[in-house]
């Protein structure tokens, strides 16, 4: 087996995509000998828990309902000894919450009601937090940021607004702002693995790889490796642990520490064996570590999960090409012809050069 005539330097940046779109970013070989596709859609590295509705006073007199953990300027926590008459504001917010929480969310109605609540009581942060929630639900992140900031301007200790605000900033690639906000959150929630995981992701996106390593290692430590449940209960522990290992692997890759990257990404894939993105990144790390046969096996696992993923077939074909296995590379070319003609053409050009 011969080493390839070029070494592809790849930086792993797995983005949180909720659509089926593909990324076209590539890493060029120093001799111009080709490039591996470095990312695929899916396999989120950002952790997100959907924000709960603002608390409102129960019209039956049973305390508060809604579940944000912070009244934000209105209502009374559940279990309070006294119950004030239900205000008009709480009735409006309750209608908005119900519209958002319906089996088929009625976002237009919810937005109208939250806007009305903001007009009735412009000093009540809950209305703006509610607006932020429905905007995040619909991936309207600029509007969400504006709404959450209005809520926090009114009530700086409205804790339920911080995490979705930071997430919205990260989704818009406003990473320095997201990093600053996650650091603020850590002063209130110093043991929240979700925050450390997302902080690691943001550090990776800004090439702050040493800090990303530290943040992801902290997330892993907080979650533990002994199987205990993720106590916050918003997402499965294994899901978050897998993402933390993926972010750790990406950070090591950014530092060109490919063997360590491969170890972390193998752990991510072991925890979530159906996470094609973790396996895809594992293939990239193994290739850059010159562990070509292992890279081939990683891409084969990706293809088992997503047989029609053109990027995986392209990278597998290029890895075969790198070890002078022309027949196997041509087999991937034949598959690619029916999936992505442009990628197929590029792979064939490379094979013909050998």
Which residue ranges make up each domain of the chain?
Answer: 56-172
Q: Does domain 56-172 have CATH number 3.40.30.10?
A: no
Flag residues of the chain having pLDDT under 70: 1-35, 38-44, 58-86, 225-236, 354
How many Å apart are CA 101 and CA 232, to the nearest integer? Answer: 21
Burial code of 82-118, b = ≥16 C-beta within 10 A, e = fewer? eeeebbebbbbbbbbbebbeeeeebbebbbebbbbbb
Per residue in 180-194, pLDDT (tens digit) is 999 999 999 888 888
Handedness of CA 51, 12, 173, 40 (dihedral sign): negative
How many Å apart are CA 6 and CA 292, to the nearest integer? Answer: 13
Model pLDDT, residue 40: 57
Model pLDDT, residue 240: 81
Per the CB < 8 A criterion, the answer to whether 315 and 283 are in contact is: yes
């Amino acid at each position: 087996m011969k080493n390839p005539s070029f070494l592809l330097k790849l930086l792993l940046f797995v983005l949180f995509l909720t659509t089926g779109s593909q990324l076209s970013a590539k890493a060029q070989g120093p001799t111009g000998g080709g490039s591996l596709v470095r990312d695929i859609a899916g396999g989120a590295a950002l952790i997100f828990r959907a924000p709960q509705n603002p608390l409102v006073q129960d019209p039956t007199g049973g305390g508060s309902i809604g579940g944000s953990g912070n009244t934000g300027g209105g209502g009374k926590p559940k279990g309070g000894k006294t119950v004030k008459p239900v205000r008009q504001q709480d009735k409006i917010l309750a209608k908005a919450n119900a519209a958002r929480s319906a089996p088929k969310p009625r976002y237009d109605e919810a937005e109208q009601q939250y806007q009305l609540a903001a007009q009735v009581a412009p000093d009540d942060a809950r209305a703006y937090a509610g607006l932020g929630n429905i905007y995040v639900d619909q991936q309207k992140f600029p509007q969400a940021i504006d709404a959450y900031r209005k809520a926090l301007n009114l009530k700086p200790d409205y804790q339920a607004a911080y995490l979705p605000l930071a997430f919205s900033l990260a989704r818009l690639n406003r990473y320095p702002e997201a990093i600053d906000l996650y650091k603020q959150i850590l002063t209130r929630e110093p043991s929240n693995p979700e925050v450390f995981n997302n902080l690691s992701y943001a550090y990776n996106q800004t090439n702050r790889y040493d800090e990303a390593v530290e943040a992801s290692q902290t997330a892993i430590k907080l979650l533990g490796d002994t199987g205990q449940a993720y106590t916050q209960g918003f997402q499965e522990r294994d899901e978050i642990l897998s993402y933390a290992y993926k972010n750790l692997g990406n950070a090591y890759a950014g530092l060109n520490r490919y063997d360590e990257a491969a170890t972390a990404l193998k752990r991510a894939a072991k925890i979530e064996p159906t996470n094609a993105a973790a396996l895809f990144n594992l293939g990239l790390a193994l290739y850059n570590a010159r562990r070509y046969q292992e890279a081939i096996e990683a891409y084969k696992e990706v293809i088992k999960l997503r047989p029609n993923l053109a990027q995986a077939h392209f990278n597998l074909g290029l890895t075969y090409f790198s070890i002078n296995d022309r027949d196997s590379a041509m087999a991937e070319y034949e598959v690619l012809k029916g999936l992505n003609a442009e990628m197929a053409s590029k792979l064939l050009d490379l094979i013909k050069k050998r």
